[in-house]
Amino acid sequence: MSTQTAPKTGQERPVTAPDIRARKGESPIACITAYDYCSGTIADQSGADLVLVGDSLAMVMLGHEDTLSVTMDEMLHHTRAASRGVKRALLVGDMPFLSYNLSTEQALANAGRFLSEGRAKAVKLEGGVGVAPQVKAIVDAGIPVLGHIGLTPQHVARFGGFKAQGKTAEAVKSMLDDALALEEAGVFAIVLEAVPEEAAQLITEALSVPTIGIGAGAVTDGQILVYHDVLGMFDRFTPKFVRRYGELGELCAETLKRYCDDVRHCHFPTEKHTLHMDDDEAAKLRKIKRPKR
Ligand code: KIV
């Protein structure tokens, strides 16, 4: 267990992976996704402890139907943009589909790119026992890893859709084995997605690293939600476990409509938004012969 003092919201020192690790059993860890400079800045200003550039960007930013199509280059592009806005929270880059499954060498090389090119401070990857060797190799190279089990969207084809996991005692036992394998491999925390609270409780109590829940009830050591879901900006579907704290999608559309109406009715721009030349230059300009039309 780290002896570092856990940072409090509003503290200036950047949050580190050991800080998050040390929050086990302390005050709940608040995590949110972000995908570019603007959302990264806003997420950081919210006081979130951890900002994840999730591969959910495939859906909420790029409009894909699942997370499988987003590439390493796209993830790095967005992670680097978010890194310019995230100054205090721990910035985590999400390793996309098949960017870590082929070999430990492939996993390590791609994890490294998230730090060197994306300027993230840690990476996340999905899976348990099967990816533990990759997790260990990445951690051994000095890169903090956030695990992710339960409903792992990169396995959506195997699950037959975005379906809650861990519905039977046997399934939860296997999920616990995954969690313990990840802990053994050195993760600093584990995301538990769309699992019954009973499963989340068992796993949270069995681990010495924090669990970060999304649809895992109130028993985990922290929570994470997708930026667009919290703000009410993604309408294709809203999972049962999401609380929409705002309706910014509607607000943005109404605001842009007011702009379009103003343009159409010549109410924008006004004198206040207009640039002018110095008087003497304007006078010279008036003397310039205008071409005939
Ligand atoms: O991609 C993502 O945004 C995620 C979080 C929802 C945990 O994996």
Question: Which token pair is 13?
Answer: 């020192």
Q: Is residue 4 in some structural domain?
A: no
Per-residue pLDDT at 167: 96
Residue 124 Cα: closest atom of ligand 1: 8
Q: What average pLDDT does this structure show over 263-289?
A: 97
For residues 156 and 181, state if they share a domain: yes
Which of 125, 153, 149 has the alpha carbon at shortest distance from 137? Answer: 125
173, 181 Cβ separation under 8 angstroms: no
CA of 215 to the centre of ligand 1 (A): 11
Reduced to 3 states, what is the DSSP secondary structure of residue 182? helix
Question: What b/e sequence results for 15-38 when a residue is b if at least 16 CB atoms lie within 10 Å of its CB, and e otherwise?
Answer: bbbbbbbbbbeeeebbbbbbbbbe
Question: Which token pair is 168?
Answer: 């039977």
Ligand 1 shell residues, CB under 6 Å: 33, 52, 54-56, 94, 148, 191, 193, 214, 224, 226
Per-residue pLDDT at 5: 44
**247-270 pLDDT, tens per residue?**
999 999 999 999 999 999 999 999
For residues 174 and 240, state if they share a domain: yes
pTM of the model: 0.93
Neighbours of 172 (CB within 10 A): 20
Per-residue pLDDT at 75: 98
For residues 125 and 24, state if they share a domain: yes
Catalytic residue list: 193
**55-75 pLDDT, tens per residue?**
999 999 999 999 999 999 999
- Please say if the pLDDT value at position 293 is more than 50: yes
Residue 56 Cα: closest atom of ligand 1: 1
Nearest protein CA to atom 2 of ligand 1, as residue: 54
For residues 102 and 211, state if they share a domain: yes
Burial bucket for residue 201 (CB in 10 Å: 0-12, 13-18, 19+): middle
For residues 255 and 159, state if they share a domain: no
Q: How far apart are the first and last CA of the chain?
A: 80
For residues 46 and 182, state if they share a domain: yes
Query: DSSP letter string over 127-174?
Result: BSGGGHHHHHHHHHTT--EEEEEES-GGGHHHHTSS-----SHHHHHH
Q: Give the CA angle between residues 101, 103, 108 to the nearest 5°.
A: 90
For residues 184 and 260, state if they share a domain: no
pLDDT grade, residue 292 (50/70/90)? confident
In angstroms, the CA 219 to CA 190 distance is 13
Tokens 């950081």 locate to: 44
CA of 32 to the centre of ligand 1 (A): 9
CATH code for the domain in which residue 242 is found: 3.20.20.60
In angstroms, the CA 219 to CA 12 distance is 28
Q: Is residue 11 in some structural domain?
A: no
CA of 41 to the centre of ligand 1 (A): 18
pLDDT grade, residue 130 (50/70/90)? very high
Q: Is residue 292 in some structural domain?
A: no
Largest CA distance in the chain: 87
Reduced to 3 states, what is the DSSP secondary structure of residue 235? coil
Q: Is residue 3 in some structural domain?
A: no
Q: Which of 9-23, 27-41, 95-109, 216-230 has the lowest mean pLDDT?
A: 9-23
Tokens 């200003």 locate to: 45
For residues 235 and 268, state if they share a domain: no
For residues 148 and 107, state if they share a domain: yes
For residues 66 and 115, state if they share a domain: yes
Q: What does pLDDT average to over the chain? A: 95
Per-residue pLDDT at 8: 52
Per-residue pLDDT at 108: 98
The number of distinct structural domains making up the chain is 2
Question: Which token pair is 290?
Answer: 């205008």
Q: Is residue 10 in some structural domain?
A: no
Higher-pLDDT residue of 6, 225: 225
Question: Which token pair is 152?
Answer: 């792992």
Which domain does 259 fall in, by range? 251-287
- Please say if the pLDDT value at position 223 is more than 70: yes
For residues 262 and 215, state if they share a domain: no
Q: Is residue 143 in some structural domain?
A: yes
For residues 105 and 158, state if they share a domain: yes
